[in-house]
Structure 1
Amino acid sequence: MSFKALLATQDDGNFAVNLAQLDDNDLMNGDVTIDVEYSTVNYKDGLALTNRLPIIGRFPLIPGADLAGTVRASSHHGIQPGDRVMVNCWGLGQTHHGGFTQKARVPGEWVIKLPDAFSTRDAMAIGTAGYTAMLSIMALEHGGLTPQRGDILVTGASGGAGSIAIALLSRLGYRVIASTGRLQEADYLRELGAADIIDRHVLSEPGQPIARERWAGAIDTVGSHTLANVLAQTAYRGVVAAFGMVQGHDLPASVLPFILRNVTLAGIDAVNAPQSVRLEAWSRLARDLDLAKLTSTTQVVGLAEVPDVAQRILKGQVRGRTVVDVNA
C-alpha cells in the first residue's frame, strides 16, 4: 500500500525536498512498523530541510527527527500492534527515514510507548525540543539546583525548547527569566510562566569574562557569546545546561566562572541518550508539564507546509512548537 512522505534528494549537488508517494518496499530495516499520525518541526529539522548544514547523511531520505503513531506490526519484545508510540532522534532524519511520512519502520529499541497522559499529538507538541528541555532541567537538578537557590535564565525563550522549558520550570516552582529577541512575545512568555524578560542583545555581544551574579542557573539554546555571557553572570555553584548553537558553535569564554564560582556547564545530548534516561525524561514530562500551556505553544500544519515552516524557523519567525499532521 502506498503512503505519502516528504523526500529529500540530492542529484549532482542539487538538493530538493518534495512530496512523494512511496510503498512498503521503500521502508528501511526495523522490527516495528508504525502508522504515523503526527511529527514536528524542530530547529534541527529546519537545518536539514534547507540543507543549511549536512544533517542528512544519505539520499534519498525522509527528514524529521520525531514521529508518533500507532504500531501496525511488531516482532520486538514488549511492543504490540495497537500500541501508541513515539520515536525521538536516534538516526531519524539523518541516516534512517524520519517522521515526515505516513508510515515508518524502525528498530524496536528506538521506540517509546506513550505515557497515558499524552495523545500522539501531545507527544509531538513536546517532541525533541520539549524532551531536550526536560533533559536540561534534570541536569540542573542533578547539579543541586532548587527553586530556593534563585532565578533560572532561559535563552531563546520564544522557540520550542525555550517555551517548554519556561512552562516546566515555572510549574516546578522556579522563578524564570526569559531572554528573547522578540520582545513583542512578552505576554506569551509571561503566560507560560516567565517572571522577567530581557532582550537577547544584552547577552549576544562580547562581554566580560566574569560579571555580576544574576541567576542560579540557566538553560541555553543559543551558544557562542550568549553562552559565554550566561556563564559569566551565573552565581556561585550554579549550573548551566547547554544544547543549542543558533548563534554559533564557538564558546568565547573564560575559565573564571568555573574556577572562581565553581559553575558547572552541563552539555545536553538528546540524540544518543540512553533509553533509561529517555524514559525518565518522558515520565517527568507526563508529571510536570501543564498540557494547557503546551496547547498555547502549538500550531498544526500539514506535510506540504513543512518546507515553508523550516525556512521560517531558521529566521526566528516561529513561536513555540509546530506539530505536523501527516494525514492532513
Structure 2
Amino acid sequence: MKIFHTKTYEGIDSLQVAHVDPPGPLASGQVRVAMRAASVNYRDFMALSGQLRSPEGSLIACSDGTGEVVEVAEDVAGVKVGDAVAITYNAGWLGGPWRDTTSMMTRCCPLQGVMQEEMVVHHSEVVHLPTHLSFEEGATLPCAGVTAWHALCGPAPLIPGMSVLLQGGGGVSTLALQFAKLFGARVIAISSSDDRCQRLKQLGADEVINYREVPEWNQSVRELTDGKGVDLAIDIGGADTIDRSIASTRIGGRVAPVGLISGWPNTVSSLFASSVDITPIRVGSRDDFEMMNRAIALHQVKPVIDSQYSFEELPQALRHLESGKHFGKIVISF
C-alpha cells in the first residue's frame, strides 16, 4: 500500500511516497479501515519539521482522516464492515476532563498519521460519520471540527444570546461560526480582507471587522458590545493576537487559545488585569466528537471546503495551507 511520510523531518520538501506492506491480522478489539480522505492542519507543519514528539524512524503525515471499515475483529460490536468512519485525533481521550495522560496518544506525533491507504486501529478510535457527509467533508472534523466544538461548549456551556469572537476564515473558525449559530450565539468575526469578511457574513457572522484596516480590532469589538466585550473569544493567531483577544473579552468571560499560527504566546501582560478565564483547547475527546456529530446530523451542517487535492498532491495542499489564502478546509481525496 502507499503511504506519504518523512524520514528526515525537514518540512514539506522531505515528504515522499513509499510502498509498504499493509497492516497485518487484526488483534482483539481492532478494525481495519480503507482510508478515503484526509485534511491538512497547521499542526502538520510542526510535525513534519520535528517540533513535536515524533515516533522513531519515519512519520506518516497528517492527523485527520476518514475511511470505510473493511474488516472487524470478532469481539467488536457497534462497528461493522461498510461503515463510514473518522479516525479520532486523541486516541487516549474517550471522555471526561483532559488529563496529562490523554495527550500522549495524538494522531501524527506520537502516533502515525493517516496518509496511508489502510489503517488498523482499536474500535474506540473510530467515530461514525453523519450520513449526509462525504468522506472529504468528514475529514474536516477530527481536529478542526472537534476543536471548534470543544472551544465553544466544552469548558462551559454556550447559551443562546452569548457573543463569540472568531478569527479568520480557516477550518476551525468557519466550523466554529457554523456551530455558534446553532447555539443562537452572536458572532463577531475578524479577517484580512473585505472579500473574506463578506464570505464570513454569508456564512452567518453578525458583524465582521477587517483587521488590516482596523489594527486595533479589540476596540471595535468593545464598541460592538457596548463597551463590555464578548463572552467568548477563540484565539487562532497565538503570539500576535492573544493580548487583543483578552482585551476583547468581558470581565468574567472566557478566552480559548486554539492556534499557534504566529507562534507560542509569551507571558500575557494583560492576563491578571483582565479577569477572564483562559481555557487552552487540546482538540477534544471522543465524546466531544460524537456530540458534535449529532448536532451536525440534526442540522445537516456542511463543512466549508476550500479545495481538494489527490493523494499524491499532499505537498501542494500543504503549500496552499501555508499561503494562508484558503477559506475553510483543504482536503485530500484518496
Report the TM-score when normalising by structure 1. 0.82
1:319 to 321, 324, 327: 327
CA RMSD of aligned residues (A): 3.1
Q: Sort the Cα spacing of 1:243 and 1:39 in 2 relative to 1 into closer, same or farther, 3 A.
A: same
The equivalent residue for 2:71 is 73
The equivalent residue for 2:305 is 297
Q: CA deviation at 1:17?
A: 0.7
Percent identity (aligned): 22
Write the deviation string for residues 147-186 of structure 1: whole angstroms up to 9, x where unpaired: 324x31101x211111111122234322211112244312
Separation of aligned partners in 1, 2:196 and 2:12 = 37
Separation of aligned partners in 2, 1:124 and 1:242 = 23
Separation of aligned partners in 1, 2:30 and 2:295 = 28
1:268 to 252, 272, 281: 281
Q: CA deviation at 1:145?
A: 4.1
Separation of aligned partners in 1, 2:26 and 2:332 = 21
Partner SS, residue 8 of structure 2: strand
Separation of aligned partners in 2, 1:14 and 1:318 = 18
Q: Establish whether residue 229 from structure 1 lines up as the match of residue 240 from structure 2.
A: no
The equivalent residue for 2:169 is 158
Q: CA deviation at 1:118?
A: 3.0
Within 5 Å, which residues of 2 pair with 1:176-325? Answer: 176-200=187-211, 202=214, 212-251=227-266, 252-254=268-270, 255-258=272-275, 263-270=276-283, 273-288=284-299, 290-291=301-302, 294=303, 296-325=304-333
The equivalent residue for 1:126 is 141
1:147 to 160, 170, 173: 160
Separation of aligned partners in 2, 1:85 and 1:56 = 25
Please tell me the residue identity of whatever aligns with 2:44.
Answer: D
CA contact (8 A) 1:125 1:323 kept: yes
Separation of aligned partners in 2, 1:221 and 1:145 = 19
* Greater mean alpha carbon deviation, residues 29-38 or residues 103-112: 29-38
Write the deviation string for residues 46-65 of structure 1: whole angstroms up to 9, x where unpaired: 3334x273464332221110
The equivalent residue for 1:89 is 89
Q: Which runs of 5+ in 2 are unaligned?
A: 91-105
Partner SS, residue 34 of structure 1: strand
Q: Sort the Cα spacing of 1:25 and 1:317 in 2 relative to 1 into closer, same or farther, 3 A.
A: same
Please tell me the residue identity of whatever aligns with 1:312.
Answer: H
Separation of aligned partners in 2, 1:13 and 1:265 = 31
Q: How many residues align?
A: 308
CA contact (8 A) 2:140 2:331 kept: yes
Please tell me the residue identity of whatever aligns with 2:277.
Answer: T
Q: Which runs of 5+ in 1 are unaligned?
A: none
Q: Establish whether residue 101 from structure 1 lines up as the match of residue 101 from structure 2.
A: no
Q: Sort the Cα spacing of 1:266 and 1:318 in 2 relative to 1 into closer, same or farther, 3 A.
A: same
Within 5 Å, which residues of 2 pair with 1:28-39? Answer: 31-39=30-38
Q: CA deviation at 1:35?
A: 0.5
The equivalent residue for 2:185 is 174
Separation of aligned partners in 2, 1:165 and 1:34 = 28
CA contact (8 A) 1:168 1:289 kept: no
